[in-house]
Amino acid sequence: MTSAMSAATPLPVARSRTRRRITRLLSGVGSAVTTLFMLVMLTFVIGRLMPVDPVIAVIGADADGATYAKVTKELGLDKPVFEQFWIFLKHLLHGDFGQTLLTGRPVAEDIARVFPATLELATVTIILGACVGIPLGIYAAVNRGRFSDHAVRLISLMGNSVPIFWTGLIGLIIFYAKLGWVGGSGRIDTEFFGMVPDVTGLMLIDSVLAGEWEVFGNVVQHIALPALVLAYCSVAYISRMTRSFMLEQLRQEYIIAARAKGVPRRDVIWRHAFRNIRVQLITMVALSYGGMLEGAVVIETVFAWPGFGQYLVNALMIGDMNVVVACTLLIGCVFIALNLLCDILYRIFDPRIS
């Protein structure tokens, strides 16, 4: 009888764990849906209350009153704000984001056209920023108070202080206009337009898939400078935060005990201290990546990069709420996806997190 009871014990435990996992999953989905709904609603309402007239953007300031009233009715702007939002929400639930005011194209098509450019730029940037910033931060923490530490901190301070548009303009003057080491504005020279099939929207990958190495080289030339300028700001932030995380770990008692036992310095740094900051680094890099996807508009403007940020700002200037809400929803989905990815990586790198 005792053995039968002990054999039956794991079943209720397994069911309990399953129920907890399902509850956590449903809670996460509910929180994500609620967050996105509130984000869309607030963005839509605030956009409608902004002192920007989207009708003027469509017909121009010199149009007569009859045309103005006709277009206002066609756009549904004659209805109360919350009724407009309800109509927009019904279309949104059917996957219809509406059309842009200026071009008349579906918003989803426009976003699919411009988002890969920002995704490619942000991905190259965060790879450079993490690969340089994390080792720099660790090196500075290990050599705290020495010349190398002060040098890294100075680099970090300059990266956080110098305006990014100024760095971009100086980079264009020196490396493009004077030295000719990099490409100019845009993602690619006009002579290479149409040479590579648009498979992923990421020109670096598409040119490799097509075997067009000359196009690949031209794309690298164009993306190099904006990515390096953005990466410098990323390195400044990542190195500073990594240094702070490492200094906190290096002061812990387990590190002092490891050193007292004669553990090699390299093992103390990488096998003990670094392993305990990996979760914090994951969060920091993920948030930096999300910030680049939504906030690279300045560098996109300087380099005429046909990306998502510039597209969103242009829509805001004319009050095109179909575009603004769709872009806002996409940004929210990006951050939710990054948070989910972080949760998965937490469990991989730190088994203690259940």
Domain boundary among 93, 122, 156: 93
Confidence band for 5, pLDDT divided at 50, 70 and 90: very low
50 and 139 together in one domain: no
For residue 28, pLDDT beyond 90? no
85 and 116 together in one domain: no
Domain boundary among 38, 58, 93: 93
Return the higher-pLDDT residue of 191 and 54. 191
Boundaries of domain holding 75: 11-93
**Cβ contact 20:27 at 8 Å:** no
pLDDT score recorded for residue 7: 46
For residue 131, pLDDT beyond 90? yes
For residue 58, pLDDT beyond 70? no
Return the higher-pLDDT residue of 158 and 7. 158
121 and 33 together in one domain: no
Give me the mean pLDDT over the 239-267 stretch: 87
Q: What's the structural domain count of the chain?
A: 2
Confidence band for 4, pLDDT divided at 50, 70 and 90: very low
For residue 72, pLDDT beyond 80? no
For residue 295, pLDDT beyond 80? no
85 and 214 together in one domain: no
For residue 354, pLDDT beyond 60? no
For residue 112, pLDDT beyond 50? yes
Tokens of residue 100, six digits: 């842009």
Tokens of residue 335, six digits: 């951050």
Return the higher-pLDDT residue of 21 and 245. 245
Domain boundary among 93, 124, 142: 93
| CATH number of the domain enclosing 131 | 1.10.3720.10
User: Is the pTM of the predicted complex or chain greater than 0.75?
Assistant: yes
**Among 58-72, 154-168, 248-262, the least confident range:** 58-72
pLDDT score recorded for residue 1: 45
For residue 10, pLDDT beyond 90? no
64 and 189 together in one domain: no
pLDDT score recorded for residue 84: 80
Q: Which residues are 106's β-sheet partners?
A: 99
On whether residue 100 sits in a domain, the answer given is: no
pLDDT score recorded for residue 65: 75
Angle at 135 between CA 151 and CA 232, to 5 degrees: 65
183 and 39 together in one domain: no
What is the overall mean pLDDT for the chain?
Answer: 82
* Long-range residue pairs from 37-40, CB within 8 A, at least 24 positions apart, any chain: 39/328, 39/329, 39/332, 40/89, 40/92, 40/325, 40/328, 40/329, 40/332
265 and 227 together in one domain: yes
pLDDT score recorded for residue 126: 92
CB count in 10 Å sphere of residue 298: 17
pLDDT score recorded for residue 136: 92
**Among 11-15, 45-49, 167-171, 207-211, the least confident range:** 11-15
pLDDT of 161-212, one tens digit each? 888 888 888 988 998 888 888 888 888 888 888 788 888 888 899 899 888 8
Give me the mean pLDDT over the 260-283 stretch: 86
223 and 302 together in one domain: yes
